[in-house]
Each structure stands twice: as structure tokens, then as C-alpha cells.
Amino acid sequence: MQQESAVAPSRTAPDTPSPRQDPCESEHRNEILVAGRITARPLIRELPSGDRLATWRVCVARPRDSRYRGRRSDSITCTSFDRDLHEGIRAWRLGDVVRMTGELRRRTWRGREGVRSVCEVEARTATLVRAADGPAAGAVRR
């Protein structure tokens, strides 16, 4: 009979920060990668602060083996304050396949129905993976 050898757990994680490193930089992480099809074209608007905000929506298909059987896709709102990124996304069309990286943000506000909140992806990078083409270009398939 063969015995399994037990390995003693390490007292420090492999990514333990150096004494000079801010613990928040290594112990906390908020990284998102979203790849999907454009279902709402980027809208760029100027805020009262003078900042420009781009907002668009992406539909991401769920894996077939998803435990959530009702919905087959997720609709994810993406935003960006980066003016350089705005130039790259301005020409995106409905149906284009795109890829973004960024951080998950929760926005909260008080409305007529009380406190409301929404989670959005604040994009740092955005890339056109494949343009919609042919007769279905711009159409959103359901």
C-alpha cells in the first residue's frame, strides 16, 4: 500500500508582499476580462465635471454547462473615462465582437424608488476582435 505524503502548508503565500510593498497591491485584486458582441453602441457624453464618459453594452454567451439554465447570455454594461480609448471604440457597430479588460465597479445612487445600484466594467483596454459584416451587420440576434 502506497502512502501519500503530506506537505506542510506554507506560512506565507507565494505572492507575499515585500516589506516595502503596499499590502493592498498584492492582497486585493479587481481584474475583469469581457469578450462578447456589442448590443449597444458606445455613447460618449460630457459630464458636468468636464470629464467624458463612454458607455456601451456587450452580450456574453454563457457556457453550455452553466448551472443557470434559464438565461443563455449576460448583458454587461461597460464604461470608460479614457479619452484615448474613446477614439478606438467610436466606430464600433452592433454585432461587432470585442474584448475589454478593466475593473468591476459598483455605482450607487438614490432614485424615486430608493437606493439603487448597478455593477459595470470600467474598461482600461478595448479591442475589436471581429467586425460584424454582411447583411447581418448591425443587427442584434436574440
Residue range 40-73, pLDDT digits in tens = 999 999 999 999 999 999 999 988 876 767 778 9
Q: What is the CATH number of the domain that holds 66?
A: 2.40.50.140
Residue 121 lies in a domain: yes
pLDDT band at 10 (very low <50, low <70, confident <90, very high): very low
Residue 141 lies in a domain: no
Residue 101 lies in a domain: yes
Residue 74 lies in a domain: yes
Residue 142 lies in a domain: no
Q: Which of 44, 54, 140 is nearest to 97 (CA)?
A: 140
- How many independent structural domains does the chain possess? 1
Residue 129: the pLDDT is 97
Residue 4 lies in a domain: no
Residue 16: the pLDDT is 54
- Output 137-140 pairs: Cβ under 8 A, ≥24 positions apart: 137/93, 137/95, 138/93, 138/94, 138/95, 139/94, 139/95, 140/37, 140/39, 140/59, 140/94, 140/95
Residue 20 lies in a domain: no
Range(s) of the domain holding residue 89:
29-130
pLDDT tens readout for residues 16-41: 555 566 666 778 899 999 999 999 99
Instruction: Tell me, yes or no, if the pTM score tops 0.85.
Output: no
For residue 32, the Cα-to-chain-centroid distance in whole angstroms is: 5
Residue 62 lies in a domain: yes
